[in-house]
Structure 1
């Protein structure tokens, strides 16, 4: 069985309960495999990054095996507006955040099954050059931190890096420790370029944080909010507290 998200932002939970931790979010247009289904909940695996969790059965639409395969092979087009809306043939409005998938997009319209939608905003998803990574990251500046979040209304550190890269045409995995398995290791901080990722670990050596490197050893990352701080050999130096907040583990070139 397969499904697609037909609502703007849906919580993906650790367990099959409304009270369970939100581990990520499913954004409009994202498709997924349904691993198991009960009366109220479905365990799903997102096609984009393989992430698994539970979603309320009322918050998605089932799709056929053939449609799932078409979505896999189709060129990915995403909403490029921070927030916008789509309309169906009955003029029903649905708000969508930046990064929402627009399946089978063509000339300001797209469709899911037999339902056609109109969307007149900017689109993204084509592979852009590395300079676009930092430019796109600026769109999220001051977005509040939210564990499991992937939108400007609440985002976590790896949701931020994943979404920015997605809008520029590149796929990252969901969690910081997973993203740290991708790309090419840089030996020295002096080798880094704007758009590279810096990863940070905790006392146990587990990677728990990630940010996007900017010019002049600045870094943009989600910590309380999406903010800009300084990066040095030790880690992130918080310009407000005048202290180091994260310990540098590795820098990686993704593109």
Structure 2
């Protein structure tokens, strides 16, 4: 086994070579390579232990990372000038190595990034719902983990990891791992609570609304809380299976 690093802005993590997408990994994430075959590597994601396959070209030697992209997305430029050529776009949560910092642009090992779009690795946000709100309007993508597309569990994971809270990648393990059961169903909804259905998860935004990435809106959206619960039940996806509160 060996340690490697993701060197593509977004790469699908597949259940098997050339198989369906299970999740995604983004620039700078660390993985452990368990084996290689036919241009594919079987990897374990450091952030959550998720196992899958990525193409070998998506991996590079591990390098120190010092900062993370705390804007919804950013561009990497060839020069410290917004009119210079951009090399790639990086999503929220991507990790980079800073070489020198300026007022407007920061030099990284990959190019120049607007300084306001980066935060030191040790910087943690404090409100997962506020992080989720940053993603409002992001297209829904099954198994997605980036600004280009995200699903319900990807949104919850990105929001919690940004606040320093460990989080699995899928809604089922999230339901089992996160928080304590809250008050009886239908009462005392607080910001940051998690509502689970079979195969779905949403944040309570306040006592009357929730925020989630969902296939009904095909986007990250804010929705009235009880009407959303009623809609999901009516469309055949079942009742809320758990109301959990992070502690």
Q: Is the 8 A contact 2:189 2:207 kept in 1?
A: no
Aligned structure 1 segments of 4 or more residues deviating by more than 4 angstroms: 103-106, 241-246
Runs of 5+ unmatched residues, structure 1:
202-207
**Deviation of 1:77 (Å):** 3.7
Question: Match of 1:217?
Answer: 208
**Equivalence map 1:76-225=2 (5 Å):** 77-87=67-77, 93-103=87-97, 107=101, 108-110=106-108, 115=109, 117-120=111-114, 121-124=116-119, 126-129=123-126, 132-181=127-176, 182-188=178-184, 189-201=186-198, 208-224=199-215, 225=219
Is 1:39 aligned to 2:35, yes or no?
no
Question: Match of 2:220?
Answer: 226
**Deviation of 1:105 (Å):** 7.4
- Cα RMSD of the aligned pairs, angstroms, is 2.8
Aligned residue for 1:48, secondary structure, equals coil
Q: TM-score, normalised by structure 2?
A: 0.81
Deviates more, 1:20-29 or 1:77-86: 77-86
**Deviation of 1:243 (Å):** 6.8
Distance across 2 between alignment mates of 1:136 and 1:254: 15
Q: What per-residue deviation string (whole Å, max 9, x for no partner) do you get for residues 8-40 of structure 1? A: 1111111111xx111111100101000111130
Quick one: structure 1 residues 6 and 92, their matched pair in 2 at CA, closer, same or farther if it must change by over 3 Å? farther
Quick one: structure 1 residues 93 and 214, their matched pair in 2 at CA, closer, same or farther if it must change by over 3 Å? same
Quick one: structure 1 residues 106 and 160, their matched pair in 2 at CA, closer, same or farther if it must change by over 3 Å? farther
Q: Is the 8 A contact 1:220 1:229 kept in 2?
A: yes
Runs of 5+ unmatched residues, structure 2:
80-84
Question: Match of 2:82?
Answer: none
Q: Aligned match of 2:230 in 237, 240, 245?
A: 237
Q: Is the 8 A contact 1:127 1:170 kept in 2?
A: no
